[in-house]
Structure 1
Amino acid sequence: MIVVMQTGSTQEQIESVLERLAEYDLRGHMVYGAERTVIGVVGAAIPPTLKEELEHFTGVKETLRITQPYKLVSRELRPMDTIVDVRGIKVGGERCVVIAGPCSVESEEQIMATARAVREAGASMLRGGAFKPRSSPYTFRGLGELGLKLLAQARDETGLPIVTEVMTINDVDLVARYADVLQIGARNMQNYQLLEEVGRTGMPVLLKRGLSATIEEWLLSAEYVTAQGNPNVILCERGIRTFETATRNTMDLNAVALAKRRTHLPVIADPSHGTGKWYLVPPLALASIAAGADGIIIEAHPDPDRARSDGGQSLSLENFAKLMPQVAAVAAALGKHV
């Protein structure tokens, strides 16, 4: 339910609404807009009489039912776009962000060379995995805290904010000490305890869509984060598993356009995982931006042929540099800048 307050309503009037909600074990999430103040009502069971009750409160203009199962991330609650601030980098709005870096942090030389190159080419943030979920237990699964320290070192030199994955509840505090954006990988999209834990940090969260998740399930996972009082969620479409075997996944650009319509959260795309083939990354990166994505996240590596994970879908640093002017041109055609 949405409670729309009248223009000029007082804080006392707002508090009286919140107190009535508390009587029913409901919570009110405040949304302050340029023209109106809205209270988003969430809870397990909203009494059928509450709508009429609240409309009699002084300062209340109207109450509306939210038709979607996700409430806080719905455009019905907040029509304007949410802008997520990451160390001064605005995700959403008029900027098209480019997040780039290796699948996993392998060494100081590798991550520093990558960070310098992607910054020089115009990247907004640096990605890199310190903890890696791998299908096989015998493959490289990251350097752990050493990888986080190397990412922080790269940030100190280049100024690029860090995006890195957190895999378990026990790692949240550790990763949060180093990272600027906490990434929730596709395999953890419905790890609800982990979503709640990262939500409680208040930090920006990059939430990847699950391999077989519907758009509604993806947005409901975002709801778990925002329900902890953390509005700083960035959605990431990274391809889904279909019958097609020619590519690693099927890059679902429908989801980018539809998510932008259904939610106020920024949406970015991951063509590296979406295709699994480095030569398909540039065209799908450009297509993602054309479909309305607020940015892209791309794997780039100094020597993809020798990468310890996902080398086949990683751009060389030279190819990444060639892509960036094209990204800027497509973004500019849509009235955005990189």
Structure 2
Amino acid sequence: MAGFDCINYTPIIETSECKLALELSRPAGGKISFHLFHESRPELKIIDMVYIEPFPSKFALHMALSYEGNYNLIVFANHDGCDNVLTTCASFLINNRSNQRASFFADAYSWGLYSHDHPVKCVDNCGSTIHAPCGEGSITFTSPRNRGEEIDFKLYSPGKRGTWKEVTGFRKWVFAEYIDSKEELRMVKIDFRIPLKGFFKFILSYGTKSVGRWLISCPTGFKGTLYPEREGLWGPDCKMTEELKIKCSHPARFDALNGKAEFTVTVPQDMSKWHVFASLNDKEGPKLIMGQKDVLLRGNGSSQESSKVYTFYIDLPDSVSTAILTVRIGEERHTGQKTIRTQNHGYWLVTATNN
């Protein structure tokens, strides 16, 4: 069929590995599906040994061949990539000589962004698999500024065949941080530390809607320290940066040399009724450690021509190697008496380092 060609295999495939990746070139608008059968039950269609990974100019069919013997793979595609009618495109005979049992893929539905027309874009991973060779991997997204909606996520592991189950405590495996805002886009990077080997499903949401899912392939589990657990993104929240135009001096995670650092928050001058507060918690507790003398001091706000700068002086005690800095922004209100209600937050991970 025009535009669809096998890139890396002939029609008869012999393998001694239980994993196989078949690549097909892809014309613009191209769509594919498949049927897979094993010789032991040639009438039974297998759905949990293959998943399709789309790329801009090709498809990759990843196969987990869990049984020894012969397989028949039939690939269907739309004609010239210009309609939704799928017809037979190619047929492959796969002879698997491995007697190893490969892990099942929990389902074979589409992976990656659900729609390329969605305002959330993936900027560093054109496919739909996040590779974590030693338990570590990452993916970066952009979303529109000034919409007031945040990115969130969930992580699942395979349950019984054909199902997924949410990973208990998965937020210790994921560090999602606000990176920057430029050209009307807000950039978020998501890092993974997966302590278990296997396949995992990562689902991304924007506001209240799910926008895509990715398969995380982790052949070896991560051996080091996991992330501190918390909901949502690290760094300033969307309203702080996009609506209030507040600027902070440090990225979402930063080092404090010998436990010391100066953290500044810059507030526009016209926000005279807004106040800035901060607290510091031990990551391991997490217990509040501000009560100790001089751990976190707030300097006097200094006024500039168009802004006011608040400086917080951090001095971690020797017993604390990692801490969480929480910054809160609140507007002063008068309803009989002066009150300050804080509702906009940001979170930073502070790590003490030595010379």
Give the alignment's TM-score, normalised by structure 2: 0.29
* Structure with more strand by fraction: 2
Whose radius of gyration is greater, 1 or 2? Answer: 2
* Structure with more helix by fraction: 1
Give the number of the structure with larger relative contact order, counting CA–CA contacts within 8 Å between residues 6 or more apart. Answer: 1
